[in-house]
Structure 1
Amino acid sequence: MERLFNGYMKFMAEDFERHRQLFQDICRKQNPHTLFIGCSDSRVVPNLITQTDPGELFIVRNIANIVPPYRQTEEYVATTSVIEYAVLALEVDTIVICGHSNCGGCAALNLPPERLDHLPHVRKWLEVSREVKGRVDRLMTGDSPEEREWLTEQVNVLVQMKNLLTYPYVAERYRQGKLNIHGWHYIIETGEIYNFNDATQLFELIS
């Protein structure tokens, strides 16, 4: 806990002072340009890898950066609520779905279900991406664990992009050209980000 307290005091003395005017400007209203849908993994830090200031990104994070398909429901739906608020209330013009290397949630998609018996809620959550394994199996060119890991993380991003377009208001704004949707694959050990190119159907290094 002391580490967190010390971090806060450093924030107040350095970062807050440097951005004091920004915090005053945004204290009553936010106007983010991007909804960032990322994994909860502690190694993925959206504002750091995009070099954005407070107020620029509206962020939701969950295991394996999953987007549940749109549905009418009386359940408590966190990610769905964030998407709804970002698009209909904040009117963001960009949505980024960011997967990453060495993703534990994606790795679990290739495990037998019983391996997750001790994590029942995680197992249920990952059912949203159950089609990923079959798609990866069809794309595999060999039996390399590295290829399977890479493909699983990228195909999972594509599945979430597809799910995002099941939201009527997202699909409408996308068709109208008012909303951009990007799929990213962030490589932790190199800092590289690969962006999905619709034209080539490939993840290409941002450079």
Structure 2
Amino acid sequence: MKRENKKSNALFEGVKEFKEKDFVIHQEIFKNLEKNQNPHTLFIGCSDSRVVPNLITKSLPGELFIIRNVANLVPFFRKDLDAHLATSSAIEYAVNVLEVENIIVCGHSNCGGCRALYASESKLKNLPMTKKWLELAQPVKALVKEKIKTEKTETCKRDELTAQLNVIEQMKHLLTFPYIKERLDKGKLNILGWYYVIETGEVFNYSPEKQIFERIE
């Protein structure tokens, strides 16, 4: 089923340009990746079209194993096989088969998924799956409300605070996976939390020791 429009035509032209230019530049890399991949990092990011993991990190093909979903969420580990399989199976494969050395959970500014945590029932009426998925971030909503109340954080910074605390929460979710905890304890795995600011290009790394996000520079 093909319905041509200017945007789809641009995509086809992009494929041609990739083959003629970018592929040629990295042809040796793609040749080496023909039968195997050996990414060093699992990047868990938001589905938002403005977040481009390879561009942000200047990574080449084969370096990142990428999971993207609404609000960069990580399900809790569960032994039963009936929930959140798309994300959980990708985490399982990245850690147990590819044996990645790093896991990055990357949130970002102006995240619609995080903002939807505060949406009314009427606004989520036609988004039942999204509403269900965002239950994984519900603890963050309570943390933000408490922080605004006790630390007198400006309400206008709610969305930024939500996105950042969500990153920290999802890092905790990763530790519920026994094989992740085991590799972390053995020093074979590193877990990082990032916050990407779309309008400035800045990326902030979470410091567990200082409990703050520090700009990478």
The structure 1 segments of at least 4 consecutive aligned residues displaced by more than 6 Å after TM superposition are none
Alpha-carbon distance in 1 for matches of 2:209, 2:109: 24
CA distance in 2, matches of 1:75, 1:169: 19
SS in 1 for 2:118: coil
Alignment: residue pair count: 207
1:111 aligned to which of 119, 136, 161: 119
Once the two structures are TM-superposed, the CA of residue 142 in structure 1 deviates from its matched residue by: 4.2
Give how far 1:199 is off: 1.0
Residue segments in structure 2 that go unaligned for 5+ positions in a row: 1-7
Match of 1:69 in 2: 76
Using the TM superposition, give the Cα deviation of residue 112 of structure 1 relative to its aligned residue in structure 2, in angstroms.
3.0
User: 1:143, CA displacement in angstroms?
Assistant: 6.8
Shift of 1:145: 4.3
- CA distance in 2 between counterparts of 1:74 and 1:169 reads 17
Q: TM-score, normalised by structure 1?
A: 0.97
Deviation digits for residues 184-204 of structure 1, max 9, x if unmatched?
Answer: 000000000010001101011
Which residue identity does 2:120 align to in structure 1? Answer: P
Name the SS of the counterpart of 1:35 in structure 2: strand
Q: What is the aligned partner in structure 1 of residue 96 from structure 2?
A: 88
Distance in 2 of aligned mates of 1:143 and 1:175: 35
SS class of match (1:130): helix
User: Alignment identity in percent?
Assistant: 53
Separation (CA, whole Å) in 1 of partners of 2:134 and 2:105: 16
- How far apart are residue 113 of structure 1 and its match? 3.7
- C-alpha displacement of 1:115: 2.5
**Residue equivalent to 2:130:** 122
Identify which of 14, 37, 49 aligns with 2:21. 14
- In structure 1, runs of 5+ residues without a counterpart are none
Task: Report matched runs for 1:185-200 at 5 Å.
Answer: 185-200=195-210
Q: How far 1:30 sits from its partner (Å)?
A: 0.1
Rounded to whole Å, the distance in 2 between the matches of 1:26 and 1:174 is 27
Secondary structure (helix, strand or coil) at the match of 1:116 reads coil
- Contact 2:147/2:153 (8 A) holds in 1: no
**Aligned-partner Cα distance in 2 for 1:127–1:32:** 30
Q: C-alpha separation between the residues in 2 aligned to 1:60 and 1:153?
A: 17
SS in 2 for 1:115: coil
Which of residues 169, 173, 182 is equivalent to 1:172? 182
- Residue 192 of structure 2 aligns with which residue? 182
- Give 2:43's aligned residue: 36
Alpha-carbon contact 1:37-1:98 (below 8 Å) kept? yes
TM-score after normalising by structure 2: 0.93
Within 2, Cα distance between the matches of 1:145 and 1:13?
50
| CA–CA separation in structure 1 for the residues paired with 2:136 and 2:55 | 28
Q: Residue by residue, what CA displacement relative to the aligned partner does 1:110-141 show, whole Å, maximum 9, x if unpaired?
A: 22344211100000000011111110011114
Residue in structure 1 matched with residue 4 of structure 2 by the alignment: none
